[in-house]
Structure formats: C-alpha cells, structure tokens
Structure 1
Amino acid sequence: MLQLEKLLKADIMKLKSTQIVWMHLYIPILGLILFLSYYLYSPWDSMSKISAYLQVLCMIFPILIGIITSMMADQEYVAGCYRNLLASSETRCLSFLSKLILVLAFGALSTIIAVLGFYIGYTFIEDIIFPFTMYLKVAGVLICSNIFLYILHFFLSLRFSKGISIGIGIVESLISALFLTGMGDGRWPFLPSSWSIRFISSLLMKYQDSGGAFRDPALTLGIMISIVGTILSLIIIVAWYTKWEGEKSEE
C-alpha cells in the first residue's frame, strides 16, 4: 500500500508538466458554458434539454478517454520506451494500477463538475424537474460505466498507438449514439460504450414516469454484463501487464 501511494505521488508529479489535469477541468466547464448559454434561448422543453445534455456527455466520453489514456501512455513511451513504467515498482502491476486509479479519479472529478455543475447552472434558467439525488445517481452511473473503457483504452494505448485508441473512441461514440435508437434494443448490453447512455436514459425515464411503468427489458442484463465485464477486464489487463515487456505496435 505504501508503494502504491509513492507511485501515485510520482505520477501526479509527472502530470504537472502536462495538460492532462487541466483538460479534466476546462473541458467540462467549457461544455457547461456552451450548453447553458444555448438553453437560455432554446425553445425545447426541460426534459429534452436535460436529456440532450446528458446524452451528449455520455457520447463524448469514449473519445476523451481515448485521448487521455493515449497521452498518458505516450508520456511513458517518450520518457524511455516504457522502461521506467515497467521498472518503477517491485510488484509490476502496481505501476499500472497507479495510473489507472489516477485517471479514474480525474475522470470522476470531471464527471462531477459536468453533471452537478449542470444541475446548479440549470436552476438559474428554469425550474428543476429532477431532484438533486437523480443527478448524483447520473454521476455515479457515468463514472462506473466508463471504468471498462478506461481499461480498454489503456491497453490499446500501451500495446498499439494513440491513433488506434482515439480512432476506436470515435467509433464507440458513434455506436453509443446509434444504439440509443431502436437499433440498440436488445443489443446494447454487449457494447460497453453504450452502457452509460442507456443506463442514464432509463434512469431519466424512471423519474419522468411517475407510474413506474417504464422499464427497459435488457436493463438487468446490461447491469450484470457491465459489472462482470468490468471486473474481468481488470483481471485480464493486470495479468497481461505482468507479462508485458513493453512491446508496442505502431501498425
């Protein structure tokens, strides 16, 4: 535990010279300013405004995750072709877990700013139609749903290249948008990039439907697959990382 704490401090020091920390602050703030400014004059109803903002937030995350993880991997590659990363701890997996914990913490902070900042800002535009607890749940769902994507994109960034990671992030964002429609019915639980947008859409509909009649038939399956898939992905990448020798394919 002490070694992990030292690795976390070292990784924070490394990030001070990059834009990664600031990106987690100014990107959600910029998004809030753009959306709230538009909503001041938009003729949409409150439900449409809130749904649109949260859906766009879900769709943009795969791209941002691809960019952030590739930047962190590139930093280690440029510093010494991953030699420093692989030799920074006696227990090799701790160096990876340190970076994963750090980027998840930054991602959680960014999510909280984006979601709760929207709740606060929207109260100055129109009356609240959803309680504060709903926004807390949205933030929690978004954070947990994206853990799998962080793990996946760390693997892509370390083993392949930033182009692969970002390119797949773009594809994932497009898929999440498509699977929000009827095209994703029954299929979305098997596409990790669509987990957050479907979970949050179901949550919004549940709060909107006072009778409680709405329910996505694939919701339970999606929750089970997301939990099991996230745990398995962490186990698999730790096992892979302990045997990885720093090979990188740019093809």
Structure 2
Amino acid sequence: MKILRLMKADFIKMKHTSFYWIHICVPIIGILIFLGYYSFSIAGSIGKVNGYLDGLSLVFPVVIGIVCSMVIEQELKAGKFKEMLSVEYGKGICLLSKVLVVLVMGFFSLSLAVGGFFIGFEYILKQNILPFKFYAVLTLLIFMAQIFIYLFHLWLSIKFGSGASIGMGIFESLFSALIITVLGDGIWQWIPCAWSIRFCNNFFIKKANSIDIFNKLADFNTGLSINAIGVRNCIIYTIILGILFGIWFNFFEGRKSE
C-alpha cells in the first residue's frame, strides 16, 4: 500500500535525527525521576499516581511541539516540501503519512511512559494499589486528547516553522497547569490543551482533612460521566481540525518566504 511505503520512508528519514531518542529517553528519564522521588515521598499511593499522570500531561504539548517541528523541518531541509507536495502520491496521502508517523511514535512513547511507571510502581516500589485496567484506560484517554494537539502543531510547523510550534507547546503546557486549578472549572471541556490533564484528574477525589490533593479513586463510571462533555468535544474538534487541515494542505504550495 502507498501509505505504508510512505510511512516507511518517513521513519527512515528520521533515523539520523533525535526523533526516536526523544520518544524513548524522555519517558524513561521521567519514570526514573518520579520513581526515585516516590521511593521516599510520604504522599499516598493515589496521590503519587495522579501526580505522575499530571506531569505526563503537562509535558506532552512541549514534546509534541518539538517532534512535529522536527518532522516538518526534515521535509523543508530535504527539498522545501518538494516530496510532500509531489503529485506522484498525492498531497493528502503524504500529509496522512506524517500524521500517522507522529501518532504511532506518540502512542509508543506514552505507552512506554505509563507502562514503565506501572511496572516500577507495582514491582519495584510495591506501592501500587490501582488495577492495570485503570492505567490502560487513562493511556487511551490521554492519547485521544493529544491527537488534536498533534494536528495543530503539524499545521503550525508547516505554516510558520519550528519556532511557532515549540513556542505554542510551551504556552500550552504552562496554560494547562493553570487549568488544573479552579480557574479551569467549567471551561476545561472547551480547551484542547486542558483535556488530557482534566481527564486524568476527574478519576480522582480528595477526602476531607487530607494533606494530599487527591487520595482516592473516584467511581470509574462517575469519572467517565464527568469527562463525557470533554470527550465529546475532543472527538468533534479533532475531526473538524483534521478535515480543515486536509483542505488547507490541498491548497498549500510552500511557504512564501521559502
């Protein structure tokens, strides 16, 4: 199939960059830092899991900004989008290949981050009290929430360059940190960079007189219900952006400054 050949070519293009190292090293470093801290922290097990998932959600926009800019800048250096704009395969399928490449690697990296933490927290620190199913569902929710961000940053990288993508990623990470607070109540469902961290937090609750921010797992169905509007908006926004991105790229002829 054409799409598989294009994806294979795109993966090969990134072979001599730090693209793969970022997707492998960042999760591993994050796991080691958090497990190292949790080995002596007096916080509760639930609070530790919530803290790790929050940290994961906060760093995602920055990483997405970096990797999307790397993929697009590689095309720019290779021939100023010559291959992406080629009529041999069609613009649409070339763009789809880029999207799938970053999504595949993003899901791999996220699975490594969550799975690695689960293994370390369960079998090394022996502090885990949550089922594997919980980690699996949260992994899928976090990934679903990031698809919109990936599409947005690919567009930014193509239209404006790596600086815009990375800069926006930093802003999104900082802004999503504010959305964790009461400032985000009632509006987070409509803000893409807030979806991931709020999806996670809505599965946790706080008992009275507790020093931890979150120290109890909410009823699973309740967590899904609270997230329902956010999930709906996430799906609708992502589909709309994907369609608009595809239409826009169909008319894209290269950057004017290039």
Do both share a fold (TM > 0.5)?
yes
Per-residue Cα deviation, 1:99-132 (whole angstroms, up to 9, x for no partner): 1101100000000010011111001213322100
C-alpha contact (below 8 Å) 1:159/1:248 kept by paired residues = no
CA gap 1:248/1:187 in 2 versus in 1, 3 angstroms: farther
Deviation, structure 1 residue 249: 5.8
Aligned counterpart, 1:181: 181
Shift of the 204–218 alpha-carbon distance from structure 1 to 2, 3 Å rule, reads closer
- Work out whether residues 8 and 98 of structure 1, in 8 Å CA contact, stay in contact via their aligned partners in 2: yes
**Residue 241 in 1 paired to residue 249 in 2?**
yes
Q: Distance in 1 between matches of 2:132 and 2:224?
A: 23
SS in 1 for 2:16: coil
Change (3 A) 1:213 1:80: closer
Aligned to 1:45: 44
Corresponding residue for 2:167?
A: 167
Q: How far off its partner does 1:88 sit?
A: 6.4
Indicate conservation of the 8 Å contact 2:203/2:218, yes or no.
no
The match for 1:54 is 53
Shift of 1:215: 5.6
Residue 68 of structure 1 is matched in structure 2 by: 67
Question: CA, structure 1 residues 218+49, in 2 after alignment: closer, same or farther (shift >3 Å)?
Answer: closer
- What is the total number of aligned residue pairs between the two structures? 248
For residue 209 of structure 1, what is the amino acid of its counterpart?
Answer: A
CA distance in 1, matches of 2:163, 2:243: 25
1:80 aligns with 2:79: yes
Contact 1:70 1:162 in 2 (8 A): yes
How far apart are 1:178 and its partner, in Å?
0.5
What amino acid is aligned across from residue 218 of structure 2 in structure 1?
D
Describe the SS at the equivalent of 1:126.
coil
Given the superposition, is the C-alpha separation of residues 6 and 37 from structure 1 closer, same or farther in structure 2, using an over 3 Å criterion? same
CA shift, 1:219, in A, is 2.8
Helix, strand or coil for the counterpart of 1:147? helix
Aligned residue for 2:102? 103
Corresponding position of 1:202: 202
- Superposition pairs of residues 84-233 of structure 1, within 5 angstroms: 84-87=83-86, 89-123=88-122, 124-205=124-205, 208-209=217-218, 219-233=227-241
Once the two structures are superposed, what CA deviation does each residue of 1:139-189 show, in whole Å capped at 9, x if it has no partner?
111111100000000000000021111111111111111111100001111
**Compared with structure 1, are the counterparts of its residues 40 and 228 closer, same or farther at alpha carbon in structure 2 (3 Å cutoff)?**
same
Provide Cα deviations, 1:222-246, integer angstroms capped at 9, x if missing partner: 1111110011111110111111001
CA distance in 1, matches of 2:221, 2:143: 27
Q: Which runs of 4+ in 1 moved over 4 A?
A: 212-218
Deviation per CA, 1:31-69, whole angstroms, max 9, x where unpaired?
A: 101110111111211122111110010000000000000
Deviations 1:193-221 (A, max 9, x none): 000111111124497135x7966986322
User: Does the Cα contact within 8 Å between 2:203 and 2:223 map onto a contact in 1?
Assistant: no
Partner of 1:189: helix, strand, or coil? helix
Distance 1:38 1:131 in 2: 22
Going from structure 1 to structure 2, the CA distance change for 1:89 and 1:183 (only over 3 Å counts) comes to farther
- The equivalent residue for 1:7 is 6
TM-score, normalisation: structure 1 = 0.93
Classify 1:179/1:130 alpha carbon distance in 2 versus 1 (closer, same or farther; 3 Å).
Answer: same
Q: CA 1:60–1:170 in structure 2 vs 1: closer, same or farther (change >3 Å)?
A: same
